[in-house]
A and B are shown apart, each in its own frame.
Chain A
Amino acid sequence: MMQEHASLLLVVLPLIFVPVTAVLPRGRLPWLATLIVTLICAVLAGMQLLAVIDGGVISYELGGWAPPWGIEYRIDALNAFMALIVAIIAVITLPYALLSVEKEIPEHQTPLFYSAFLLCLTGLLGITQTGDIFNLFVFLEISSLSSYALISTGRKRQALTSAYQYLVMGTIGATFFLIGVGLIYSETGTLNMMDLAARLPEVADQRTTHTGFAFIMIGFALKLALFPLHLWLPNAYTYAPSAITVFLAATATKVAVYVMLRVLFTVFPQDFVSATPTDELFILSGMAGILITSVYAAYQSNVKRLLAYSSVAQIGYMVLGIGLASATGVTASIVHLFNHALMKGALFMAVGAIIYRVGACHIDEIRGLGRYMPWTFGAIVIGGLSLIGVPGTAGFISKWYLVVAALEQQMWLVVAVILAGSLIAVVYVGKILEALYFKSPADDMPAVKEAPLLLLVPTWTLVLANVYFGLDTDFSVGMAERAVEALGVVAK
C-alpha cells in the first residue's frame, strides 16, 4: 500500500504535519517531528525513484478521478530525481538546523518555524510530483509563501525588507504564470500536462498560445532568478537564517528550473518552442548572467551575499544548458542542478557554521578564522574548488558536460563564457579563502572554537558528496540521462 500511494504520501505527509508541528510544545520536539517526517519523505522519494528508474511511469489519480478531469501525479525519471534531491537536502539540512536555529530564532517561534519549513517542503515536493499545471501553481504559492515567512525570521531587520521584496517579485512571477495558464486553458480546455502536450500542436500558431507561453516563461524566469530578474535573490539569501539559506539555495531555484524543463520539453511541442526565440534568449541571458553576476560576486564583502550572487551565476549555467536544447545540453543542465545543490549546500552550511561561532560573515570579521576552525575551513576549500570546477569535484563534471554540449554546436563564445565564469569563480572563492587563512586575525578577536559536531557532520556529508560525485558519475549523470530520455529531448 505504501508503494502504491508513495507519490501522494510524499506530499500529504508533510502537509498533515504542518499543523501538528505548529502546536507542539517549544523545545526540540518540533524539530524531531520535522526530522522524522522528512526522513520518511526521503525513503518514499527513494522508493518512487526505484520504481521509475527503468523508464517506467507512475500515474497516480487523485481521488480516483481519471485524468484529464482529475488531478494526476505523473512521475517519470525527472520528477522522481527532483523529488529525491529535495527530500535528501531537507534530511541533511535538518540536523544542521537544530543548533543553528536555536541560536538564530527566538525559542517561542521554533514550532512555527519548523511548521513553515514543512509547508515549504510540501510545496516543493508537490511541484515535482504533480502533472496538473494549475495544481503546480498552487504548490508554487505554498512553497513561496512559506519561504517568505521563513526568510523574514532572519536576525537582522533587513530580513524583513528582503522577504517583502521577494514577496512582491515572487507574486508577480506567480501571477504571470497564472495568466499564462489561463490563456493556454482558454485555447485547449485542459490543465493536465500530458493532455496539453497532445492538444497544443493544433493551436500552436494561435497568438493566444504564444502570449500564454511568454507569460509562463517570464513568470518562472522570475522564480528561478534568471538574470536580469534575479534582484530578489541576493538579499533573500543573505538575510535568511543559515539553515533556510542552505535549504532554499539547494532546492527552491532548482525546482523552478525543473518546471522550466517540464514546460519547455513536455508541455509545449518542440517545433513550437524552437520557432520562438526562447533558446537564444536563454543562451544570451545565461551568458550575461554568468559574467555579470560573477563579477558582482567578486566585489561583495559579505560572504553570504557573495555566494548568493554566485548562485545566480550558476543558474546561468543551468539555463545555458536548457538554451542549447540538445540532449547533452539538458543533461548538463540537470547534472549541474544536482551538483550545484551539493556545492552551494556545503558552502552555505560552512558559512553558517562561521556565523554560529562569530555571529557575522563579513569578510573583515572572519579574518584568520581558518586557523581556529580547520574543519569548517576545509569544507569551504573543497566546496569552493567544486564551485570553480576543479577536476575531481562535482563542479567539474557539470561544466565538462556543458562545454561538450556547446562544442557539439560549435558555439565557441559559449565555451569561452563558461571558462571565463570559472576563472572569475577562482577570484571570489580565493577572496574568501584569503580572508579565512592568509590574513592574521584581528587583535581583539577572542579565540574561536571549531563549530559543533552537529553542524560539521551535515556540512561534511555534502562536502564528501561533492568529491564522490566528482569521481563516480554513474548516479548523477545516469539519472540525468534517464530524465532527458523521459523528457524526449533529441540530440542535435
Chain B
Amino acid sequence: MDFIIGHYNYWVVIILMMAGFYTIISRGNLVKKIVGLNIFQVSVFMLYISISTVHGGAAPIIAEGVERYSNPLPHVLILTAIVVGVATTALGLALVVRIKESYGTIEEDEIHDRDHSL
C-alpha cells in the first residue's frame, strides 16, 4: 500500500503518459491528436519535477533558516521542455489549420479518402 500511495506522483505520470499516448494512436481527429501529444509531454514534465524532489526540501529559493532545497536543475530543464512543447503545439495546430483549408476536414480517414479518390 505504501508503495502505491508513496509513489502517487509517478502513478499520475504513468496514467497521463498512457492516456496521452493512447489518444495519439487511437483518435482520427487531428486536433485531438495534438491534445494527446500535449498530455503525453506534460506527463514527462511531471516526471522531471518528481525526480527533483528532495525529502523535506523547500522550494529552491535561498531563504534564511532553510537548509534543504529541492534540486532546481530539473525545473530549469523542464522550463526549456515546456517551451519546446508550446512550439510543437503551435506548429502542429498551424498545420491543422492549413490542412483544414486545403482538405475541408480534419478527420484522418476523410483526408485519406480525399487523396485517393482523386
B interface majority secondary structure: helix
Q: For window 129-143 of chain A, which residues contact chain B by CB distance below 8 Å? A: 134, 137-138, 141
Chain A residues near B81 (CB-CB < 8 A): 137, 178
State A174–B84 Cα separation when bound (angstroms): 10
Chain B residues near A145 (CB-CB < 8 A): 84, 87-88, 91
Is B98 an interface position by the 8 A CB rule?
yes
Is A164 an interface position by the 8 A CB rule?
yes
Q: A152-B98, A157-B103, A168-B37 are contacts. A175–B91 as well, Cβ < 8 Å?
A: no
**Which of A134, A152, A186 is B95 in contact with, Cβ under 8 Å?**
A152
Is A363 an interface position by the 8 A CB rule?
no
Q: Is the CB of A182 within 8 A of B44?
A: yes
Q: Is the CB of B96 within 8 A of A157?
A: no
**Which of B30, B47, B92 is A179 in contact with, Cβ under 8 Å?**
B47
Is A163 an interface position by the 8 A CB rule?
yes
Q: Could you give, for residues 212-246 of chain A, a 1 whenever the CB lies within 8 Å of some chain B CB and a 0 otherwise?
A: 00000000000000000000000000000000000
Is B24 an interface position by the 8 A CB rule?
yes
State A161–B91 Cα separation when bound (angstroms): 13
Chain B residues near A164 (CB-CB < 8 A): 30, 92, 95-96, 99
State A134–B74 Cα separation when bound (angstroms): 10
Is A160 an interface position by the 8 A CB rule?
yes
Nearest CB in chain B: distance from A61 CB, A: 18
Q: Is the CB of B48 within 8 A of A182?
A: yes
Q: Is the CB of B88 within 8 A of A167?
A: yes
Chain A residues near B95 (CB-CB < 8 A): 148, 152, 160, 163-164, 167
Chain A residues near B96 (CB-CB < 8 A): 164
State A141–B87 Cα separation when bound (angstroms): 9
**Which of B30, B77, B102 is A134 in contact with, Cβ under 8 Å?**
B77
Chain B residues near A372 (CB-CB < 8 A): none
Chain A residues near B47 (CB-CB < 8 A): 179, 182
Is B115 an interface position by the 8 A CB rule?
yes
**Which of A163, A167, A179, A185 is B74 in contact with, Cβ under 8 Å?**
A185
Q: Is the CB of A175 within 8 A of B80?
A: no
Other A-B pairs, 14, CB within 8 Å; known A160-B95, A168-B92? A134-B80, A145-B87, A145-B91, A148-B95, A160-B98, A167-B92, A171-B41, A171-B88, A172-B37, A172-B40, A175-B44, A178-B81, A179-B44, A182-B47
**Can you give 12 contacting A-B residue pairs, CB < 8 Å?**
A145-B87, A145-B88, A152-B95, A157-B99, A164-B92, A167-B92, A172-B21, A175-B41, A178-B44, A179-B47, A182-B47, A182-B74
Question: Which B residues are closer than 8 A to A by beta carbons?
Answer: 21, 24, 30, 33, 37, 40-41, 44, 47-48, 51, 74, 77, 80-81, 84, 87-88, 91-92, 95-96, 98-99, 102-103, 111, 115
